[in-house]
Amino acid sequence: MRKFKKIISDFCIRTGQRINNQKSVIILCNSVVNRKRKAITKLWGFKLVKEVFYLGIKLALRRLLDSDFNYILEKVNSRLNVWGKNLISLAGRIVLTKSVLAAIPIFVATHTLIPKRILHKIEKAARNFIWDKPGGLHELHYISWEKMCRPWKEGGLSIKSVSDITGPLRAKFAWNFLKEEDSLLYKSLKARYGPKFWMKSNTAYKSVTWKILADGAQSLISITRWKIAAEDNINILDDAWILDRSLQQWPTFVSTGISEIPKLKEFISGGCWNIDMLNTHFGLELVKTITQIEIDSSLPKDSIELNNKFSGKSIMARTTAYKSNDICSVDYGIWLKKLKLNPIIECFWWRLLNEAIPTNEFLMNRRLLGHNLCHRGCEEHEDTNHIMVHCHKLQQVISILNIWGFTWPLFTSAKDCKYHLEKLSVHNKSLANLYCSLVYFSWKSRNSIKHGKNEWSLNFIAGNAISYASIASSNLFLDH
């Protein structure tokens, strides 16, 4: 320890820097006896502590528990208590959740092994903040959290679920670790756990650093492949070396009549592919694909490279996009965002297109109401199709707007309405914006009747729709 202090002292003398004793602390493990503890602290003159916060992360020589992360929950709750809910619309609560609540635990979750229970509590608090009423009154959660966390094009709100993005966020650490083979960290971890740190290790006690890198590597695998240099590092079935996925993930690859598949280096002879060997184990089309793969004999060993490395996206964005590849895009995912509606109206239409507004049909299906007829006396089932197109009150307001000079195609159904709105989002955004605003204010007027108030007049609904549409990004009067 004295030699180590002498090295530090020499460094300070040569560089002119000094150690700040007031900010420096010592953490010693339990195996250090009290006599040595006192001697070390006396030698350095630092304060002895059991744990310390560094860059907002708690450092301790023990496994961190749920209680060690309560400060994150307290930070989330303090934000919620400040905001309240009385004067914040649903659209406003969604924006606050996306920009603030979901961002609070990201740094800590990326750099530590934060328990999943803490992340789930944060997400639960975010869900309740979005949907529940003021005063802690529980409200119906109309759309699942999983769907709300999907991208816009897949019908979601692009909210970042912290429990789902920790792996993609850690993938950049795994990539940097692989590319810095001369670093002390790489050499130390490779000697202990082996070169393929994404594979399950038999080591009973793994370090926190290793677990974080291994978790990031699981996400990194999906966007990388092996560059072949005729070595023995590549597993034919488990590793991705053909196109962008491993053979285990190819539904058409079947190995029959073979007790054991040879190693990849046995398919290479003199720096070229052994065609006869390939034909023995693979089909004709797969052999053609394999022979197009370049063997780089100049490389010292097999290495990992990124798929589509010139895409311009970050590693986190690529891994997140790969996860959502299996989810189909929805028809309104792009055009609704193109309209650049008022955030409140955009949120309403997102719910309307997801059939997640409390229409009488919606409430009756959940046994919360005894009928599904429109409150305005239309004598029709009040569903999303009725709200979007067929309501008599909506048709009357449209007639007034036609007199005022605003015309659009006559919609026959909700499907037809969405089709024409998609077309208008390209050719006449302002007209589509006006119709979306009109449906929103028609719904607001309907809610006035629902809650025992007077319904809005036709001119008032039409005027509000024009007012909101005219202050959108596209000019209602110049574009019309």
> How far is it, in rounded angstroms, from Cα 280 to Cα 287?
10
> How far is it, in rounded angstroms, from Cα 437 to Cα 419?
17
> How far is it, in rounded angstroms, from Cα 44 to Cα 30?
19
What residue ranges in 364-478 does DSSP mark as E strands?
none
For Cα atoms 388, 389, 392, give the angle at the middle one, nearest 5 degrees: 115
Dihedral angle over CA of 142, 143, 148, 153, nearest 10: -110
- Put simply, whether the predicted model's pTM sits higher than 0.85 gets the answer no
Residues 6 or more apart whose CB falls under 8 angstroms from that of 36 comprise: none
Give the pLDDT of the chain (480 residues) as one tens digit per residue.
Answer: 788 888 888 888 888 888 888 888 888 887 888 888 888 888 888 888 888 888 888 888 788 888 888 899 999 988 888 877 667 888 889 999 988 888 889 899 888 888 899 999 999 999 999 988 877 678 889 999 999 988 888 888 989 888 888 888 898 888 888 888 888 888 888 888 776 766 655 545 678 888 888 888 888 888 888 887 766 677 777 777 788 777 777 766 555 555 566 777 777 777 788 788 777 777 787 888 888 888 777 777 777 778 777 677 788 888 877 766 666 777 888 888 888 889 999 999 999 999 999 999 999 998 888 888 888 888 889 899 999 999 999 999 999 998 988 887 788 888 999 898 889 888 888 888 999 999 999 999 999 988 888 889 999 999 999 988 887 655 444 443
What SS3 state is found at 412? coil
Residues 6 or more apart whose CB falls under 8 angstroms from that of 467 comprise: none
Measured CA to CA in angstroms, residue 214 lies from 167, 189, 305, 430 at distances of 9, 11, 17, 50
3-state helix, strand and coil shares in percent for the chain, rounded to the nearest 5: 55, 5, 40
> Which residue type sits at 403?
I
What residue ranges in 244-328 does DSSP mark as E strands?
268-269, 272-273, 303-306
Question: Per-domain residue ranges for the chain?
Answer: 2-49, 68-160, 335-479
> How far is it, in rounded angstroms, from Cα 130 to Cα 94?
6
> How far is it, in rounded angstroms, from Cα 352 to Cα 342?
15
φ, ψ of residue 398 in degrees (nearest 5)? -60, -40
pLDDT at site 435: 92
Element (H, E) at 169: helix 162-179
pLDDT at site 86: 65
Largest CA distance in the chain: 94
Record the tokens describing residue 131, joined without a space.
């949907």
> How far is it, in rounded angstroms, from Cα 204 to Cα 403?
78
